[in-house]
């Protein structure tokens, strides 16, 4: 009787294990939400929609892009950080995660602890642009103009901007007025119309407008020229140092999301980012497909977070 009981118990355990394994293998068995913490039409939104469509096809589930803009991207980010860690709520994060953590007080989440890196998707430089109706042809002319018109020069920034937006005035000894927007797309009409003097925005948001002659590119961040704008100098070449950082995008999950789910999504994203149609679509947006799996991305992300802390201290960057 005792032996029979043990056999039944072991059989039950085996059955439960098989059921658990089968249940886990079913992920995903419902649509996945990918949160964009900015308004539709901006750089983060653009890459998300390309990735989400192809990722959904590989996972055989719809990946719904959901915009939750506001509070310098912190509303959408906090939503994901506090979401159920089941793989059904993901975040398309970017450089804003490091900037916000390094320069803002009392955030409702910790970007270093409450989010789990899943995979990097792309990267691109930031581009300094002015409207083509402006007479400004290069960075030197822009700086001269800014110093002559300190009370009227303005620039658009998404949320609280970025270190690039704050370092540029410091290193050119200028004091332009910052105008905040919920997304890059919302700022572009004002920039094109000349209501803003300039913007420093990710290439993905300005390349199409440069190509259609609505904006003029004056410089790019990074250590080398951008292949989509080969005639445009780097900031260093244009005489402005300490602006070598570039933008990146990556998918994140709530911190306690099971490793197996993170690995599954990461693996599929690696495949998505290698598809010729994805590479081509992103290149048209001014984004380089730059996949990085979860473990490698986690290391990259921690380094990025520390870099932003170091830059914030060096230049005394603080968002009011």
Q: What is the pLDDT of residue 161?
A: 57
Average pLDDT over residues 232-260: 95
- Whether the pLDDT of residue 5 is over 50: the answer is no
- Whether the pLDDT of residue 14 is over 70: the answer is no
Q: What is the pLDDT of residue 252?
A: 98
- Whether the pLDDT of residue 22 is over 50: the answer is no
Given strand 215-220, what is the order of strands in its sheet?
Answer: 177-181, 154-158, 198-202, 126-131, 215-220
pLDDT confidence tier of residue 160, bands split at 50, 70 and 90: low
Average pLDDT of the chain to the nearest whole number: 90
pLDDT confidence tier of residue 7, bands split at 50, 70 and 90: low
Average pLDDT over residues 73-92: 98
Question: Which CATH architecture does the domain made up of 126-220 adopt?
Answer: 3-Layer(aba) Sandwich (3.40)
Q: Are 87 and 150 contacting, i.e. CB atoms less than 8 angstroms apart?
A: no
Q: What is the pTM of this model?
A: 0.79
Question: 28-57: per-residue pLDDT in tens?
Answer: 999 999 999 998 987 899 999 999 999 999
CATH of 29-123+246-314, one of 3.40.190.150, 3.30.2020.30, 3.90.79.10, 3.40.50.9100: 3.40.190.150
Average pLDDT over residues 9-24: 47
Structural domain boundaries of the chain?
29-123+246-314, 126-220
């Amino acid at each position: 009787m005792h032996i029979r009981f043990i056999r039944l118990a072991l059989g039950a355990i085996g059955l439960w294990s098989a059921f658990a394994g089968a249940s886990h293998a079913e992920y995903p068995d419902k649509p996945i939400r990918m949160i964009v913490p900015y308004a539709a039409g901006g750089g983060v939104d653009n890459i998300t929609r390309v990735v989400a469509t192809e990722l959904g096809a590989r996972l055989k589930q719809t990946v719904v892009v959901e915009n939750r803009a506001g509070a310098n991207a912190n509303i959408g980010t906090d939503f994901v950080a506090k979401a159920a860690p089941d793989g059904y709520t993901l975040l398309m994060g970017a450089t804003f995660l490091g900037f916000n953590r390094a320069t803002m007080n009392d955030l409702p989440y910790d970007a270093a602890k409450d989010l789990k890196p899943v995979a990097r998707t792309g990267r691109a430089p930031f581009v300094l642009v002015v409207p083509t109706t402006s007479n400004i042809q290069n960075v030197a002319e822009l700086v001269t103009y800014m110093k002559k018109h300190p009370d009227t020069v303005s620039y658009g920034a998404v949320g609280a901007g970025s270190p690039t937006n704050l370092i540029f005035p410091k290193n050119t000894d200028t004091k332009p007025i910052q105008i905040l927007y919920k997304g890059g797309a919302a700022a572009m009409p004002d920039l094109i119309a000349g209501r803003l003097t300039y913007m420093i925005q990710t290439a993905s948001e300005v390349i199409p407008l440069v190509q259609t002659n609505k904006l003029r590119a004056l410089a790019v961040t990074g250590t080398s020229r951008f292949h989509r704008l080969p005639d445009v100098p780097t900031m260093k070449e244009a005489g402005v140092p300490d602006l070598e950082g570039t933008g990146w995008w990556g998918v994140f999950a709530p911190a306690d999301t099971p490793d197996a789910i993170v690995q599954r999504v990461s693996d599929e994203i690696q495949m998505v980012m290698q598809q010729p149609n994805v590479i081509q679509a992103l290149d048209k947006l001014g984004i380089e497909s730059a996949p990085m799996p979860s473990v490698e991305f986690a290391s990259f992300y921690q380094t990025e977070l520390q870099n932003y802390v170091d830059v914030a201290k060096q230049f005394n960057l603080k968002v009011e």
